[in-house]
Amino acid sequence: MTEANEKKYEFLADNPNVKVLPIMLSLIIGAFFAILNETLLNIALITLMEEFSITLTTVQWMATGFMLVMGVVIPISALLLQWFTTRQLFLSTMIIFTIGTTISAVAPNFPILLTGRLIQAVGTGLLMPIIFNVFLLIYPPERRGKVMGLIGLVIMFAPAIGPTLSGVIVEYLGWRYLFITVIPFALFSIVFAYKFLVNVSEVTKPKIDIISIVFSSIGFGATVYGFSSAGESPEGFLDPKVFGIILVGVIGIVLFVLRQLKLDEPVMDLRVFKYPMYTHAVFMFLIIIMAMFASEIILPMFMQGPLMLSAATAGLVLLPGSILNGVMSPFMGHLFDEFGPRVLMIPATLVLSGTMFMMSRLTADTSLWIIVVGYILIMLSISAIMMPAETNGLNQLPKKLYPHGTAVMSTLQPVAGAIGVSVFISILNARQLSFLDKSPTPTDPKTMSDAMVAGVELVYFIAFAMSIVAVILAFTVYRAKPLEEKN
């Protein structure tokens, strides 16, 4: 890195009101609406089925395809971050996202709508690695917690309000306005970034290894698609097609990893795992993502099943916890900067595991306030664990590995999400079927409700067991400091 670049970083870090604030705003505005768009469409799937006369399996590609594309593009983000400047990459990403949004807004049929959605996914998938990398460059380790907390606010708050906002828009304006309302904000983000965003990254243009990109695309893409398809198939993981796709994905990932270990300039440098706190953060990140999905996916099903609540009511029950998770993220980041990770992560993992155990005792007679409080405790715990763990892990990496560290973390999110959803739904379904098979009255509504309760109990008990691992990890964490690159 040149002396001029070093001075630039020092200047940016020491003058937040002059340089850093416009950069942050440029990135966060774009990120908010791109991430909001991820959940904005979920509530409109039934409407789209009626609009285009398509089946549930077909319309599900609006969600499955989105995750599939993200699984393909995120792993190559480390390479792109070294080939293009911050300004070039962010503006290109937001332009791609805006083009996809516009295509979806005017789509005359479902194939064109899906095409626009997949183009959106390209922009969304590249956005978070860019943001993490830039913030690592412009802020010193001792100030990153609060900043990463702001990112956490965007990541959690945007998806939290997505379903609620979507319901209002679809009911009063129509599904096209889910895209139309996003376009002005995306354009504003582009104009704002064009005026204020400066380059903070160093362009090194490493060698492009096409074989690695092919292995990566097949490996991560097939894995995300395979696990997503498992939840749609009646046979789940026993479906030969599902099993075959997952196997292809696993083989692709293994070949990708082996090739990265042999290359002098890997597409995704796996030497990041030589840094103990980074590896620690990855394991903690995976556990928390899984625990979060156990609640975000299974709990609404429980509320609409045994508790017989409407979808709107179930969404409102989850809203306080989701909003508090986002709002508290900057505060948790500030505490991380002041006291380090242990002070936050040890009590948070204990609260998380206790709450998961409590949720594993849910019944059809459970009071709604217990679910509201339980979900709030889960989401507050996650806010005190996920971003501090991720920040602490990234803090230990040398600057050269920032793009690779952020790429690995960002890649794991859709992969862990797809795996979490399919595994927990499969566990729920298997437990329900087992319960019904043993019952003399399997078609009785009360029996079916009890079967759902049994499935939810098992899911949360497994999530409780995973949270115990998180407790153990929390007791082994320490404040990470940047280390020299390990060979």
Min mean pLDDT across 223-237, 286-300, 314-328 is at 223-237
Identify the pLDDT of residue 8. Answer: 44
The domain spans of the chain are 1-206, 207-264, 271-482
More confident residue, 481 or 475: 475
Among the ranges 7-16, 159-168, 396-405, which has the highest mean pLDDT value? Answer: 396-405
pLDDT digit string, tens, across residues 157-187: 776 666 667 767 777 788 888 889 888 888 8
The answer to whether the beta carbons of residues 101 and 153 sit under 8 Å apart is no
Min mean pLDDT across 8-17, 30-39, 401-410 is at 8-17
Whether residue 112 has pLDDT greater than 90: yes
Identify the pLDDT of residue 352. Answer: 93
More confident residue, 392 or 325: 392
More confident residue, 37 or 344: 344
Tell me if residue 452 falls in helix, strand or coil. Answer: helix
Whether residue 452 has pLDDT greater than 90: no
Distance, CA of 173 to CA of 159 (rounded, Å): 20
Do 1-206 and 271-482 have matching folds?
Answer: yes
Distance, CA of 115 to CA of 122 (rounded, Å): 11
Tell me the mean pLDDT in the region 91-108.
91
Joined tokens for residue 174: 């129509």
Nearest 10 degrees: Cα torsion 334, 335, 337, 340: -160
- Say which residues have a Cβ less than 8 Å from residue 382's Cβ, sequence separation at least 6: 288, 291, 292, 325, 348, 352
Distance, CA of 246 to CA of 256 (rounded, Å): 15
Identify the pLDDT of residue 349. Answer: 93
Q: How many CB atoms lie within 10 A of CB 467?
A: 27
Q: In this prediction, what percent of the chain has a pLDDT beyond 90? A: 9
Whether residue 348 has pLDDT greater than 90: yes
Residue with tokens 């582009």: 190
Tell me if residue 441 falls in helix, strand or coil. Answer: coil
What is the pLDDT confidence band of residue 129, given thresholds at 50, 70 and 90?
A: confident
Identify the pLDDT of residue 367. Answer: 86
End-to-end CA distance of the chain: 18
The answer to whether the beta carbons of residues 333 and 146 sit under 8 Å apart is yes
Q: What is the DSSP code string of 187-231? A: HHHHHHHHHH----S----PPP-HHHHHHHHHHHHHHHHHHHHHT
What is the pLDDT confidence band of residue 200, given thresholds at 50, 70 and 90?
A: low
Tell me the mean pLDDT in the region 289-307.
76
Q: What's the angle, vertex CA 194, arms to CA 23 and CA 402, rounded to 5?
A: 45
Task: Tell how many helices (H) and how many strands (E) occur in the chain.
Answer: 19, 0
Whether residue 204 has pLDDT greater than 80: no
Tell me the mean pLDDT in the region 409-413.
77
Joined tokens for residue 354: 């206790």
Joined tokens for residue 315: 């969404």
What is the pLDDT confidence band of residue 355, given thresholds at 50, 70 and 90?
A: very high
Tell me the mean pLDDT in the region 442-471.
86
Whether residue 12 has pLDDT greater than 50: no
What is the pLDDT confidence band of residue 4, given thresholds at 50, 70 and 90?
A: very low
Q: What is the DSSP letter of 98?
A: H
pLDDT digit string, tens, across residues 242-278: 888 889 988 988 998 888 888 777 877 888 888 889 8
Q: In this prediction, what percent of the chain has a pLDDT beyond 70? A: 83
Distance, CA of 273 to CA of 408 (rounded, Å): 10
The answer to whether the beta carbons of residues 201 and 137 sit under 8 Å apart is yes
Distance, CA of 347 to CA of 362 (rounded, Å): 23
Q: How many CB atoms lie within 10 A of CB 479?
A: 16
Whether residue 56 has pLDDT greater than 70: no
Q: Does domain 1-206 have CATH number 3.30.70.20?
A: no
Average pLDDT of every residue of the chain: 79
Whether residue 241 has pLDDT greater than 60: yes
Joined tokens for residue 56: 């549930």
Topology adopted by domain 271-482: Growth Hormone; Chain: A; (1.20.1250)
Identify the pLDDT of residue 233. Answer: 60
